[in-house]
Amino acid sequence: MKTGLAIAAGGATERFGLEPDLVTLAKTLGGGLPSGAIGGTDEVMSYVTSERVYQVGTYNGNPLTMAAARASLERVLTPDAYLHLDRLNDRIVGGCQAVIDRHGLPGYAIGVGSKGCVTFAPAKITDYESFKEHQDVELCELAWLWNLNRGIFMTPGREEEWTLSVTHTDADVDHFVAVFEDISGRKRAEERTRRKAAVLEGIARVFHETLTSRSEEELGRTCLAVAEAVTRHLAGRREGSPESQAKSG
């Protein structure tokens, strides 16, 4: 779950109108430097201020990190930057979902702010258990390598997450969608080939069983029926072909 500065200036608190007891912010705050921050209600934070909870850290108050955080918040993650990120994310999510729908892939695209991913799962992911149960790990690993070989560095791992930057453009997003279209088309073609092979194997098995278990008369009737069925199928394909439709028009 991504709920910090990557989705809004006020994180999920702002984006979804929440009033949390505790807020944690991570690396987006530091603009590339190691950083983090916590905040909360007076009641929660009183545990720290009263020293009932001892809160310390190596980078607490580090001046370089704090300078980077201020520059990131004031000069990089501006209101216009968040509008830019929202627009790009809508574009990439919409483009990927269109590819999924076009090829009938098991999965869906989802995103918010600068974050998003294609989840290769036939069912909706709602928690960690459904994440482990439904996601296609092999396809995730293939997609990561496929993207890497085409100039797109994704976060390694099953979630296949993207993170948009304020420097990304429509062309960058469109390139990502085009690469996803390529792998999706090839994956679909591979599945069709596998299904055809399975059908042919089944037909061969039936013929073998027929040849070894039936009389010559029964065998002749079966072969005739198969020939008629194939003839009808081919005739139907010819009638539905573009050439046939053009002639009839």
Per-residue confidence (pLDDT) for residue 178, from 0 to 100: 94
Considering only residues 241 and 217, tell me which one the structure prediction assigns the higher pLDDT.
Answer: 217
The two tokens of residue 15 are 């984006």
pLDDT digits (tens, 9 = 90+) for 82-118: 999 999 999 999 999 999 999 888 889 999 999 998 8
The two tokens of residue 145 are 């390598």
Considering only residues 191 and 33, tell me which one the structure prediction assigns the higher pLDDT.
Answer: 33
139 forms beta bridges with none
Per-residue confidence (pLDDT) for residue 120, from 0 to 100: 85
Separation CA 235–CA 152 (nearest Å) = 47
**pLDDT greater than 90 at residue 43:** yes
The two tokens of residue 118 are 């294609």
Per-residue confidence (pLDDT) for residue 144, from 0 to 100: 85
pTM of the predicted structure, to 2 decimals = 0.72
Residue with tokens 């791992």: 157
Phi, psi of 113, rounded to the nearest 5 degrees: 60, -125
Helix, strand, coil % over all residues of the chain, rounded to 5: 60, 10, 30
Per-residue pLDDT band for 77 (boundaries 50, 70, 90) equals very high
- DSSP code, position 155: P
Considering only residues 65 and 248, tell me which one the structure prediction assigns the higher pLDDT.
Answer: 65
pLDDT digits (tens, 9 = 90+) for 55-76: 888 878 889 999 999 999 999 9
Specify whether the CB–CB gap between 13 and 20 falls below 8 A.
yes
